[in-house]
Amino acid sequence: MTVRDYTSAKDFLQFKKEIRGSRAHLIVGIDIGKDDHRAFFGTAYGKTLLRRFMFKNDIEGFGKLLEHVKSVKQKDGLSEVVLGMEPTANYHKPLGDYLIRCGHRVVLVSGVAVKKNRELLDGRWDKNDTKDSANVADLISQGKCLFYDYTPVLIRELRNLLSLKRRLKKQEHGLRIRIRNNLLALYFPEIDRYYSKWETEILSVVRWCLDPSMVAGLEYDQFADLVYPGNKTVRRQGRLEWIWKKAVDSIGCTAGEAAEFEAQVLVEELRHIREVIKETDAKIKDVCKRCPEYDYLLTIPGFGPDVSSKVLAAIGDPFRFNSTSQVLKMAGMDLNAERSGKSSDTAVPIISKKGSGHLRYALYQAAFIASCRHKQFKKYYVNILTGREKEKGIKTKMRVKLAGKLLVVAWTLMKKREPFDPEYLQIG
């Protein structure tokens, strides 16, 4: 089989049906480490072939593993091989990609499943590397494994850039909170309440003259030229003048050299982070434009560059999904309900939230914008609300439903490579 065959969702589903009790499969469970990996060789019907095999996390170690796989496979007369591992940070990815490029089937096992299955093996919770590799192999033999998403390079780059952007946004938010809570609240509390509206002016004040007594000791023109040199709009002039007047009666503490140094460092760091975020956005846009599906996603109402890039990165290859239910599960938008001891009428389904929270948030924002501004989506939203207007929280629930609809529409457009058509909103 080719790499494409081994990385198709259809082939993976067929494998899960065949693996239970198979007499043809060699199962290799791998416990991933940073420097060394440990493997367990066994069969689907419970026979142990090699209990403990350790290899390095380098090309020589990978070659050593494949040599043992070939040797055990021939010795025991097995025709198929499957190698499985638990996702561990990024340590498993070089090995997984190498094995797939060499034409081997690779699967993943969930960390939750590994933890729960550990006690079932021998009635103990004891954890060690040898048992963990056997645990992985046992789960694979039961068909309790996950699809290994071997994505194209462009999609990987996009996912890495989106991950980088999320980390940068967290840093940006942390710096803003430190400036407000550690500096403004202590030294110039009067202007903190206006931070969200006057951020540019307030950051300049924090950067150049944090101490209100220093501001009060300057003439207005001196103060304005210090914090914001160059031409200033009438609105900016009014804000700076208000800050200058408030400094006279400020209740803030006196800022020393250490506080002024901290203010300088935090503001400069915040501005630098924002510049990096802009560069990252440009890089994300550049990568997206090299993906033909991106232009079709932009035609969906509510889908801007940010939402389109997140949906593109999440779906990747649209042909790895066989149904809309699989797409919704990927985002954690599939419905679940506690029905034990209840009738279907009393069971209240809710979304599972097992997928990407970032993707769900982006889709909800897209649904909100589309249901407010786009004619066909407004009509669709009103139709699904009809008769249920008085239910508590129904508007939010229907927008979540609309978000799921948008995801399915996006997946369809990526497969067909065609622009959005309002006919996709037919209520069915």
Kindly report, residue by residue over 96-135, the tens digit of the pLDDT.
999 999 999 999 999 888 888 887 776 666 666 678 899 9
CB 82 within 8 A of CB 6: no
Label residue 84 exposed, middle or buried (CB < 10 Å: 0-12, 13-18, 19+): buried
Do 95 and 174 sit in the same domain of this protein? no
Same-domain pairing of 14 and 142? yes
Q: State residue 126's pLDDT score.
A: 67
**CATH (domain of 59):** 3.30.420.40
Contact call for residues 242 and 220 (beta carbons, < 8 A) = no
pLDDT value of residue 344: 61
Q: Are residues 317 and 386 in the same domain?
A: yes
- The region of weakest confidence among 123-137, 165-179, 198-212, 293-307 is 123-137
In the chain, % helix, strand, coil (3-state, to 5) comes to: 60, 10, 30
What confidence category does residue 341 fall into, taking pLDDT thresholds of 50, 70 and 90? low
Predicted local confidence at residue 428, as pLDDT: 44
Tell me the pLDDT tens digit for each residue of 348-358.
Answer: 778 888 888 99
Whether the pLDDT of residue 1 is over 50: the answer is no
293 to 303, 313, 374, 423: CA distances (angstroms): 13, 11, 22, 19
The least confident of 7-16, 173-182, 185-194 is 7-16
Q: Are residues 210 and 122 in the same domain?
A: no
Domain shared by 178 and 247, yes or no? yes
- Phi-psi sector, 344: left (phi>0), alpha (psi -120 to 50), beta: alpha
- In terms of pLDDT, which residue wins out, 344 or 262? 262
Based on the fold, state whether residues 297 and 353 are members of the same structural domain. Answer: yes
Residues 214, 274, single domain; the answer is yes
Answer yes or no: do 406 and 325 share one domain: yes
Kindly state whether residues 139 and 16 are assigned to the same domain. yes
Over residues 303-322, the pLDDT tens digits come to: 999 999 999 999 998 988 88
State the average pLDDT for the chain: 89
Q: Tell whether 106 and 166 lie within a shared domain.
A: no
Q: Is 181's pLDDT higher than 50?
A: yes
Residue that is last in its domain, among 135, 150, 165:
150
User: What pLDDT sits at residue 393?
Assistant: 87
Q: How many structural domains compose the chain? A: 3
Percentage of the chain beyond pLDDT 90 is 67
Q: Alpha carbon 112 to chain centroid distance?
A: 19
Q: Which residues pair with 48 in a beta bridge?
A: 42
pLDDT score, position 343: 62
Tokens of 135: 């645990």
Amino acid at position 112, single letter: V
User: Which pLDDT does position 340 carry in this prediction?
Assistant: 66
Average pLDDT over every residue of 204-229: 92
The pLDDT confidence band at residue 150, using thresholds 50, 70 and 90, is: confident
Q: Where are the alpha helices (DSSP H) in 126-256?
A: 129-141, 153-178, 185-187, 199-208, 212-216, 220-227, 234-246
Q: Are 23 and 45 in contact, with CB atoms under 8 Å apart?
A: yes
- Taking the C-alpha atoms of residue 135 and residue 120, their distance in angstroms, rounded to an integer, is 9
Q: What angle do CA 369, 370, 374 make, to 5 degrees?
A: 120
Model pLDDT, residue 161: 97
Per residue in 218-239, pLDDT (tens digit) is 999 999 999 988 888 999 999 9
Of residues 89 and 160, which shows the higher confidence score?
A: 160
* CATH code of residue 210: 1.10.287.4070
> Strand pairing of 25-31 and 80-85?
parallel
Do 170 and 143 share a structural domain?
Answer: no
Mean pLDDT of 4-26: 79
What is d(CA 94, CA 87) in angstroms, rounded to the nearest whole number? 12
Can you give the pLDDT at residue 5?
46
> What is the predicted pLDDT for the residue at 177?
95
Contact call for residues 279 and 174 (beta carbons, < 8 A): no
Show the domain range for 306: 293-339+347-425
Using CA atoms, how far apart are residues 253 and 183, in angstroms rounded to an integer? 10
Q: Rounded to an integer, what distance in angstroms lies between the CA atom of residue 357 and that of residue 208?
A: 39
Q: Write the pLDDT tens digit of every residue in 20-60.
A: 889 999 999 999 999 999 999 999 998 999 999 999 999 99
pTM: 0.85
Q: Dihedral sign for Cα 334, 338, 344, 346, please.
A: negative
Q: Does 395 score more than 80 pLDDT?
A: yes
Paired tokens of 289: 């434009």
Are 136 and 263 contained in the same domain? no
pLDDT at res. 121: 73
Last residue of a domain, one of 150, 172, 197: 150
Which of 126, 150, 174 delimits the end of a domain?
150
